[in-house]
Amino acid sequence: MARILVTGGAGYVGSVCCLRLLQQGHQVTVVDDLSTGYAEAVPEQAVLHQLDIGNRSELAKVLGKDRFDAVFHFAAKALISESVSNPGTFFDSNVASGIALLETVRRAGIKRFVFSSSAAVYGNPRSTPIEEDDPKNPVNSYGETKLSLERALYWYAVAYGWTVVAFRYFNACGATATIGENHNPETHIIPLLLQTAAGERPFFEIYGADYPTPDGTCLRDYVHVLDIAEAHMLALQVPGKLPFSVYNIGTGASYSVRQICHVVQQELGMNVTLKNGPRRLGDPAILCANPQRLMQDLGWRPLSSDLRTIVRTAWDWRQRNPRGYAGQVDAESVMSKR
């Protein structure tokens, strides 16, 4: 059993990882400012502190209460279009506050760190599927901030004897029985399609139909959030003698926006009105992972990431939570119980 500090543990991927950590018998403490996360998403067995990771003095108090064995770092701003139009806030939140977190963690004597990075570090790849050692040329500031913190973590591992694992996610999607995607604003394809199917949107807008792909729409590698969480569980087993490891989390298969629309309509038995729109700023044409390193080194397998399972679990969660977390108890009452 380990004591794990999870930053951003009230977010989509972070909360699922908290759930899996608890199921494996670990103790979990969450730090989240709840600016985009939801207290309701944090499992009841976890301790939740509403706190900005850049607040060094308050974070130090949390770290001083328990001797933590590892940090899982998910907290970050992640809206791609905003990262293009307002990069300063991304460097402030993801890099400046990230370094504040690293320094506070270093002073607390914690030496195992698992970082939620992104496929956005690659930008427009020269070839696909993408391997971890391929060139990194981000096309938006979100990807640049993730790459910046990766580089900082490499030097922390070298200088301070840390064991760091960085995971570059491709498209996280799907849901568990209790946790699903609930972003505001929502920008991810599957939740948007489900909202359209449910009649909450008049149509689904395809952002760009003129990409150099077989049907003109972007190609992406979709991976179930449970499979992402399992990779994080395996990260705790990485030997301490390995200072810095980086892994893609994807399936090695890519699907176009139009293909995803077709699968959603097939799986739900509903027609979804589609309309072509302009390209979205900062969107590469193709992102597809080569996950072989993760499979070989840690024995990871994407067991839940077939498209029908992804769509069905996301739809089932949405049917149970039609208003998302807004339909559950409010954050203040959740916090008051902890």
Mean pLDDT of 179-191: 93
DSSP lists the bridge partners of residue 70 as: 4
Q: How confident is the model at residue 181 (pLDDT cuts 50, 70, 90)?
A: very high
210-238: per-residue pLDDT in tens?
999 999 999 999 999 999 999 999 999 99
| pLDDT exceeds 80 at position 190 | yes
Confidence of residue 284 (pLDDT cuts 50, 70, 90): confident
| Burial class for 104, CB neighbours closer than 10 Å (0-12, 13-18, 19+) | buried
In 3-state terms the chain splits into helix, strand, coil percentages (rounded to 5) of 40, 20, 40
Q: What is the pLDDT of residue 241?
A: 83
For 91-100, 179-188, 219-228, which range has the lowest pLDDT when averaged over its residues?
179-188
pLDDT at residue 81, rounded to an integer? 84
Q: Are 46 and 9 in contact (CB under 8 A)?
A: yes
pLDDT digits (tens, 9 = 90+) for 133-173: 999 999 999 999 999 999 999 999 999 999 999 999 999 99
Residue 329 has pLDDT above 90, yes or no: no
Residue 282: what residue type?
G
pLDDT of residue 283: 84
Q: Band of the pLDDT at 337, cuts 50, 70, 90?
A: very low
Query: 155 Cβ partners below 8 Å, 6+ apart?
Result: none
Q: Stretch 310-322: mean pLDDT, rounded?
A: 96
Q: What's the pLDDT score for residue 328?
A: 55
**pLDDT at position 218:** 95
Strand partners, 206: 276
Query: What's the token pair of residue 116?
Result: 């939620």
CA distance 218 to 135: 20
Q: How confident is the model at residue 282 (pLDDT cuts 50, 70, 90)?
A: confident
Taking 50 as the threshold, does the pLDDT of residue 330 lie above it? no
pLDDT of residue 264: 98
**What is the average pLDDT across 58-87?**
94
pLDDT at 334 over 50: no
* Of residues 88, 14, 1, the one with CA closest to residue 48: 14
Where are the domains positioned within the chain?
A: 3-336
Class of domain 3-336: alpha beta
| DSSP sequence for 228-291 | HHHHHHHHTTS-TT--EEEEEES-S--EEHHHHHHHHHHHHT----EEEEPPPTT--SEE-B--
Average pLDDT in the chain: 94
Catalytic-labelled residue, pool 142, 169, 222, 325: 142
169 is catalytic: no
The residues pairing with 73 across neighbouring beta strands, listed in sequence order, are: 7, 115
